[in-house]
Structures are given as C-alpha cells and as structure tokens.
C-alpha cells in the first residue's frame, strides 16, 4: 500500500468526530498531493460542472466540508467569487486559506446546528463529505435551512452510502415534506480513477423550495 493509501485508511478509520478532526489536521499538508497525484480525485470538477449548469456566477456559495479548498479553486476557475468555506478541521481550513479563493472560512461541524442565517446562501456545494464516519444524512436539514428558496444544493455521494447510510430516507423525506425537489442526478462516476478505481460517486442536485 502507498503512503497516500495508508493515510486515507488511517483517516477513514477514525472512531469519532474529534479523532476525525485531529487526523484531518495532521493530513492537511499532504492532502492535495495525495488526492490529485495518487488518486486522480475527480470530485471537485465533477460537482462544479453540475453546479454551473444551474447557479449564476454572482451567487453566494457555501462549500460545506471545504477541506483544503479544491472545490473553491474549481469554482473560481468558472468565475464564482462569492465563496464561503466551512470545515471541522482547522488544519484543512489553514490550507484552504492559502488558496485565497474564499471570502470567509468557518470552523463548524455538519450534523450540528450551523451558525448561518436561514436562506443565507444561494447555493451549497459539498464534495466527499457526506459519507459514513464524516457528515451524516441529518446534516442535510441544516443545509436546506441556510439555502434560500430557489437556491441549489449540490453534493457528491457514494451509491452504496445513498442506499445504506440513511441518505435515501433523508433525501426522500425532504422531497415528501416539500423542502426541496430533485433537479438531476449524475451517472455513477469513477471518482478516484488512479488509486481506487472501484469507488464511484454520483452528484445530486436539488432545488430548495
């Protein structure tokens, strides 16, 4: 196993949020190299492709679980400049700060109440964050609350986690209650084609009602 694969295993085996945060703090400086060089991480560009089909370039966008800012960099390339990032890990946020693409970076935890106003954002994007052992399906309630009516929520998700991680129930119940409606969902994409070609993600796009 490569060093990068060992680091991924180590982070993903965290027993709780506190340890997960600590391990991301440690990984932060190597993260971009590991993900781009060893794994060929496609998540940021794929999700931003989908967001850009619906969201105007002037939109206020929250990058939820921004990590080192790879999504912010993709957004900036497509002309988005009104960007806020949030993440549980200060170490990851320190790396994101160096990219100079976010106007604000906040340490917060998905799955807990977020310190943003109702309808504060025109769109929320979250890539590689909603998954087992990271941000739970219940995080979506707060993401809906902080997105304005008519705004968009775009996120990547593993198909097996959608089925078995509580997401199918949460996403369906938000539709049934009239909180959001599904706009589109991407085909399954090999999201780590170099290091873990068996891992697939889909990008989900919802409009908040």
Q: Which residue from 195, 202, 190, 115 is spatially nearest to 162, judged by alpha carbons?
A: 202
Question: Candidates 84-92, 143-151, 163-171, 178-186 — which segment interacts with ligand SAM by CB under 6 A?
Answer: 84-92
Given the structure tokens 């917060």, which residue do they identify?
108
CA distance 31 to 74: 16
Q: Which residue from 174, 169, 191 is spatially nearest to 49, judged by alpha carbons?
A: 191
Q: By CB under 6 A, tell whether 202 contacts ligand SAM.
A: no
Segment 115 to 144, residues that bind ligand SAM, using CB under 6 A: 127-129, 134-135
Phi first, then psi: give them for residue 87, nearest 5 degrees.
-160, 155
Residue 154 vs 174, nearer CB to ligand SAM: 154
Binding mask 40-79 for ligand SAM (x = CB under 6 A): ---xx--------------------xxx--xx--------
Give me the least distance between CB of 82 and ligand SAM, in Å please. 18
CA distance 173 to 181: 11
Residue 44 vs 151, nearer CB to ligand SAM: 44
CA distance 83 to 79: 11
CA distance 84 to 61: 6
Q: Which of 4, 51, 75, 88 binds ligand SAM (CB under 6 A)?
A: 88
Q: By the criterion CB under 6 A, which residues form the site for ligand SAM?
A: 20, 24, 43-44, 65-67, 70-71, 87-89, 92, 109-111, 127-129, 134-135
């Amino acid at each position: 196993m490569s060093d990068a694969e060992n680091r991924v295993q180590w982070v993903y085996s965290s027993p709780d949020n506190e340890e997960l945060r600590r391990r991301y703090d440690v990984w932060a400086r190597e993260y971009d190299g590991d993900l781009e060089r060893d794994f060929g991480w496609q998540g940021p560009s794929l999700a931003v492709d989908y967001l850009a089909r619906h969201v105007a370039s002037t939109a206020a966008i929250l990058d939820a679980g921004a990590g080192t800012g790879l999504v912010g960099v993709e957004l900036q390339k497509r002309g988005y400049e009104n960007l806020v990032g949030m993440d549980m890990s200060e170490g990851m946020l320190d790396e994101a700060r160096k990219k100079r693409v976010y106007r604000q970076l906040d340490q917060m935890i998905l799955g807990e109440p977020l310190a943003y106003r109702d309808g504060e954002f025109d769109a929320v994007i979250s890539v590689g964050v909603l998954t087992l052992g990271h941000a739970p399906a219940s995080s979506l309630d707060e993401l809906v609350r902080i997105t304005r009516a008519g705004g968009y929520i775009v996120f990547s998700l593993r198909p097996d986690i959608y089925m078995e991680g509580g997401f199918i129930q949460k996403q369906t119940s938000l539709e049934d209650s009239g909180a959001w409606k599904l706009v589109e969902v991407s085909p399954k994409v090999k999201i780590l084609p170099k290091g873990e070609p068996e891992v697939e993600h889909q990008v989900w796009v919802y409009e908040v009602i």
